[in-house]
C-alpha cells in the first residue's frame, strides 16, 4: 500500500520534534530456539516424491509452548503494547521508536508494569531450567528419536542471555551540550543535519499514523460493499481493529493534528453506530449504512491528501 500525502496544515503545536516525542527502544535476547531444521526428513520427502534438493523444508518444534509460556506470554503482551502505542522513525529495522510526550506518563506506567511481568516470568523460567534432568527428560519423552540434547542452551547461557533491554530518552539538542566545543560553521552544519533528520522522522511517523487508520477502514469498506449473498466470511475484528486504532490515536497524535482528531471522532461515530457485527452479515440496510459511513471517512481522508494509490 502506498499513501499519497500532502503537507498537513492542521497543526496546533509549534514545538520542535525533540520537545514532542521521546525515543524508546525494546530488545529481547532469548537463547532458547523454538525449532530446528530436520534435513533428514526433508530429504526423505524429496526423494520419495522425486523433488529437487531444497524444495522441502521441515522443522522440529523442540520446545513445548507450555514450558516457556511463563515468560513468552507476558512478552507477547509487552510487544503488542509497544508496537501499537509507539511510532516507527523509518523503514526497516530501526534502533528505536518514538512515543508522544503527551502520552508519556500513561504509556510509561503500563510499559513499566509489562516489563516487570516479563522479567518476573524470565526469573521463574530460569529457576525451573536449572533442573536439567527434568527438562531434558520431558523433551526426550516428547520428541522421541528426534531429541538432541545439543539443541538446547546451557543453564549458564540461559542465565546470562535470557533478558530484556529497554531505554527511554529525550531526543535532545546536541548544541546545548556539545555546542560549546564546536566552531560556528561546524555547529551550523550539524544543526542543519539534525533538523533534516528530525523532519524525516516526523514525516515518516506521521504517515505511519495515517496508514494505521487507512488499512482497517479501507478493509471494512471493501469487505462490506460486497452484497451479502456474495460476501466472504469475516469476523468481529473487522470493526474492533478500527476501534482499537481510534482509541490509540490520542496517544499517537504527537503534533496535536486537528485533522487526525477529526478523523478519530468520525471513526468512533461510525463504529458506535454498529450495534452488532451479526447485523453486518445479515441486514442489508445496516451493512449499506456502514459502507456509506466508511466511504465518507475515506473521502475526507482523501481530501487531506491521505488515500490509497495504485501500486
Can you say whether the dihedral through the CA atoms of 123, 120, 116, 118 is positive or negative? positive
- 267 and 156 within one domain: no
Domain boundary at 106, 136, 170, which? 170
Domain boundary at 120, 137, 170, which? 170
270 lies in some domain: yes
178 lies in some domain: no
- 107 and 225 within one domain: no
Query: Could you tell me which of 38, 87, 46 has the C-alpha nearest to residue 62?
Result: 38
- 208 and 223 within one domain: yes
Structural domain that includes position 301: 2-16+184-309
101 lies in some domain: yes
52 lies in some domain: yes
pLDDT at site 95: 86
- What is the Cα–Cα distance from 307 to 207, expressed in whole angstroms? 11
pLDDT at site 173: 58
204 lies in some domain: yes
Domain boundary at 113, 135, 170, which? 170
- 43 and 146 within one domain: yes
Q: Write the DSSP assignment of the chain as a string of letters.
A: -EEE----------S-HHHHEEEEEEEEE----SEEE-HHHHHHHHHHTTPPTTS---EEE-S-HHHHHHHHHHHHHHHHHHHHSSB-SSSS--S-EEEEGGGHHHHHHHHHHHHHHHHHHHHHHHHHHT-HHHHHHHHHHHHGGG--GGGS--HHHHHHH-EEEEEEEE---HHHHTGGGS-HHHHHHHHHHHHHHHHHHHHHHHHHHHHHHHHHHHHHHHHHTS-GGGPPP--THHHHHHHHHHHHHHHH-TT--HHHHHHHHHHHHHHHT---HHHHHH-HHHHHHHHHHHHHHHHHHHHTT-EEE--
- 164 and 28 within one domain: yes
Structural contact between residues 198 and 17, judged by C-beta atoms closer than 8 angstroms: yes
pLDDT at site 184: 73
- 76 and 137 within one domain: yes
pLDDT at site 172: 61
pLDDT at site 13: 55
pLDDT at site 162: 97
219 lies in some domain: yes
289: domain CATH number?
1.20.120
- What is the Cα–Cα distance from 172 to 219, expressed in whole angstroms? 39
- 25 and 11 within one domain: no
Q: Write the DSSP assignment of 220-249 as a string of letters.
A: HHHHHTS-GGGPPP--THHHHHHHHHHHHH
- 164 and 36 within one domain: yes
36 lies in some domain: yes
pLDDT at site 29: 96
- 166 and 24 within one domain: yes
- 158 and 33 within one domain: yes
Hey, how many other C-beta atoms are within 10 angstroms of the C-beta on 55?
Answer: 10
175 lies in some domain: no
- 157 and 298 within one domain: no
- 6 and 30 within one domain: no
Residue reference for cell 566545543: 181
Domain count, the chain: 2
Query: Could you tell me which of 54, 72, 67, 70 has the C-alpha nearest to residue 124?
Result: 70
Query: What are the per-10-residue average pLDDT scores of the chain (311 residues)?
Result: 46 66 93 92 93 93 95 97 93 88 89 97 97 96 95 96 91 52 63 75 90 94 92 92 94 91 95 92 93 94 66 34
Amino acid at each position: 500500500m502506498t499513501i499519497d500525502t500532502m503537507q498537513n496544515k492542521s497543526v496546533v503545536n509549534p514545538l520542535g520534534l525533540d520537545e514532542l516525542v521521546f525515543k524508546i527502544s525494546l530488545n529481547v535476547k532469548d537463547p532458547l530456539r523454538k525449532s530446528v531444521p530436520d534435513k533428514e526428513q526433508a530429504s526423505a520427502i524429496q526423494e520419495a516424491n522425486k523433488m529437487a534438493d531444497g524444495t522441502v523444508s521441515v522443522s522440529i518444534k523442540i520446545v513445548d509452548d507450555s514450558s516457556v509460556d511463563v515468560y513468552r506470554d507476558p512478552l507477547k503482551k509487552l510487544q503488542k503494547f509497544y508496537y501499537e502505542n509507539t511510532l516507527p522513525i523509518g523503514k526497516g529495522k530501526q534502533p528505536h521508536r518514538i512515543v508522544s510526550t503527551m502520552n508519556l506518563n500513561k504509556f510509561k506506567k503500563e510499559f513499566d508494569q509489562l516489563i516487570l511481568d516479563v522479567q518476573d516470568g524470565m526469573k521463574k523460567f530460569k529457576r525451573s531450567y536449572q533442573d536439567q534432568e527434568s527438562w531434558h527428560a520431558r523433551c526426550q519423552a516428547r520428541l522421541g528419536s528426534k531429541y538432541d540434547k545439543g539443541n538446547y542452551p546451557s543453564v549458564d547461557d540461559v542465565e546470562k542471555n535470557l533478558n530484556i533491554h529497554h531505554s527511554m530518552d529525550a531526543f535532545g539538542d546536541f548544541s546545548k551540550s556539545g555546542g560549546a566545543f564546536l566552531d560556528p560553521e561546524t555547529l551550523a552544519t550539524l544543526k542543519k543535519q539534525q533538523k533534516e533528520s528530525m523532519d524525516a522522522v516526523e514525516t515518516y511517523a506521521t504517515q505511519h499514523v495515517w496508514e494505521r487508520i487507512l488499512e482497517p477502514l479501507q478493509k471494512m469498506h471493501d469487505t462490506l460493499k460486497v452484497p451479502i449473498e456474495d460476501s466472504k466470511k469475516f469476523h468481529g475484528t473487522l470493526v474492533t481493529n478500527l476501534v482499537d486504532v481510534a482509541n490509540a490515536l490520542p496517544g499517537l497524535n504527537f503534533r496535536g493534528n486537528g485533522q487526525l482528531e477529526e478523523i478519530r471522532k468520525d471513526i468512533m461515530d461510525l463504529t458506535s453506530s454498529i450495534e452488532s457485527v451479526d447485523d453486518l452479515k445479515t441486514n442489508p440496510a445496516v451493512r449499506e449504512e456502514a459502507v456509506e459511513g466508511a466511504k465518507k471517512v475515506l473521502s475526507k481522508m482523501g481530501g487531506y491528501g491521505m488515500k490509497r494509490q495504485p501500486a
